[in-house]
Amino acid sequence: MFYVVYASLIASLIFVIVKLIISPIQGDDYERVKSDYLLTLLQCIAALLVMHIPIILEVRFQLDVPSGMTILFIVFLYAAVYLGEFRSFYYKFAHWDTILHAISGFMAGAASFSLISYLANSEIIKLRPSLVAVFAFCFAVTIGALWEIYEFAWDSLANLNMQKYADELGNVYSGRVALADTMLDIIVDTIGAAVISIIGYISIKFDKRWIEKLIVKKQSSKVPDVSTDLVATEGTPVEISAEAAVSAETPSEESSFLGENTPAETNSVEEESSAEKLS
């Protein structure tokens, strides 16, 4: 799938570059000019670059990216850039942009859970499930708002019609119609963020582990199996490596999310209560 999408974007990029060269600067009402292809060119280049993000995360930063999220990310880029801009799906299908914004809100929420998981696993923060869900929601909505600012900036600088304030022929909308696209995008982003936040809250609160299938994690190093080390042949001394002993005492990621006590903390509390009873 990666190579199919990549080849489609490369072919689109070459086509757009040719069109930019041969198209007039100004033309008739129904003739596409250079500025009409500028947005497609910029988005093709951006898509070709960001498609490498999952690979960079895995190779450069040693992070595990879920295959499902990688596929969703690539399909999103293909639908947004190739189908949306190059094949004009934004104008052919009324709700194409709405569907993509719902997916982007969902992915932004998953990215926020990945960030919290990374920090919690590093023992930097320990938050309650409700706070994690609120942070994920706010993070995803903020990403959606920043994207609308990005679109507005490019529309102001280069008249690219990213916020769809005009139709395909360049007829500018007015009044509430001109604001409809932007407001609908923000609303759908918010709904997508709310859905992933609720899923994440239930997953963490009730230990369902749904969210673990969607978040990026540190690549787990191969640690010797403690149970295997304990089973030794007769007359053979049992040896347990230091790594295995440390990993056995390290709290799980789910415990970090929930803010549960580690085994060492639990033992400490029990010793304190015993001392109080003796005194």
Number of C-beta neighbours around residue 7 at 10 A: 10
The top-scoring range by mean pLDDT among 26-35, 39-48, 211-220, 267-276 is 39-48
- The answer to whether 158 and 35 are in contact (CB under 8 A) is yes
Does the pLDDT of residue 47 top 50, yes or no? yes
Average pLDDT score over residue span 84-94: 85
Position 174 scores a pLDDT of: 85
CB 181 within 8 A of CB 198: no
Predicted local confidence at residue 180, as pLDDT: 87
SS3 per residue for the chain = CHHHHHHHHHHHHHHHHHHHHHCCCCCCCCCCCHHHHHHHHHHHHHHHHHCCHHHHHHHCCCEECCHHHHHHHHHHHHHHHHHHHHCCHHHHCCCHHHHHHHHHHHHHHHHHHHHHHHHHHCCCCCCCHHHHHHHHHHHHHHHHHHHHHHHHHHHHHHCCCCCCCECCCCCECCCHHHHHHHHHHHHHHHHHHHHHHHHHHHHHHCCCCCHHHCCCEECCCCCCCHHHHHCCCCCCCCCCCHHHHHHHHCCCHHHHHHCCCCHHHHHHHHHHHHHHHHC
Question: Looking at the predicted structure, is the pLDDT value of residue 223 above 50?
Answer: no
- List the chain domain ranges: 1-87, 96-220, 226-271
Average pLDDT over every residue of 170-177: 83
Lowest mean pLDDT among 56-70, 199-213, 248-262: 248-262
Give the residue from 145, 144, 132 showing the smallest Cα distance to 199. 132
User: Hey, what amino acid is at 73?
Assistant: F
Is the model's pLDDT at 260 over the cut of 90? Answer: no
What is the rounded CA–CA span in Å between residue 223 and residue 3? 34
Q: Is the pLDDT of residue 232 over 50?
A: no
**Cross-strand partners of 63:** 218
As a whole number of angstroms, the distance between CA 65 and CA 37 comes to: 33
Lowest mean pLDDT among 160-169, 185-194, 225-234, 236-245: 225-234
Task: Give the contacts of 240 (CB within 8 A, at least 6 positions apart).
Answer: 224, 226, 229, 230
Q: Confidence band (pLDDT; 50, 70, 90) for 170?
A: confident
Q: Using one digit for the tens of pLDDT, what is the confidence trace for 141-157?
A: 999 999 999 999 988 88
Binning pLDDT at 50, 70 and 90, where does residue 267 land? low
pLDDT at residue 243 is higher than 50: no
Question: Whole-number mean pLDDT of the chain?
Answer: 78
* pLDDT given at position 25: 74
Q: Which residues of 214-250 are buried (b: 16+ CB within 10 A; e: fewer)?
A: bbbeeeeeeeeeeeeeeeeeeeeeeeeeeebeeeeee
| Position 255 confidence tier, pLDDT thresholds 50, 70, 90 | very low
Nearest to 140 by CA among 107, 173, 165, 114: 107
Q: Which residue has the tokens 């609308």?
A: 148
Query: Picking from 55-64, 175-184, 213-222, 253-262, which range would have the lowest pLDDT averaged per residue?
Result: 253-262
> How wide is the angle at C-alpha 103 spanned by C-alphas 47 and 71, nearest 5°?
60
Which residues are within 8 A (CB) of 273 and not within 5 positions of it... i.e. 6 or more apart?
A: none
Percent above pLDDT 90 for the chain: 25
pLDDT of residue 271: 55
Contacts of 19 (CB under 8 A, 6+ apart): 32, 37
Answer yes or no: are the C-beta atoms of 76 and 107 closer than 8 Å: yes
Residue 34 has pLDDT above 50, yes or no: yes
Q: Which of 29-38, 101-110, 142-151, 226-235 has the lowest mean pLDDT?
A: 226-235
Least confident of 58-72, 97-111, 169-183, 232-246: 232-246
pLDDT confidence tier of residue 160, bands split at 50, 70 and 90: confident
Global pTM?
A: 0.69
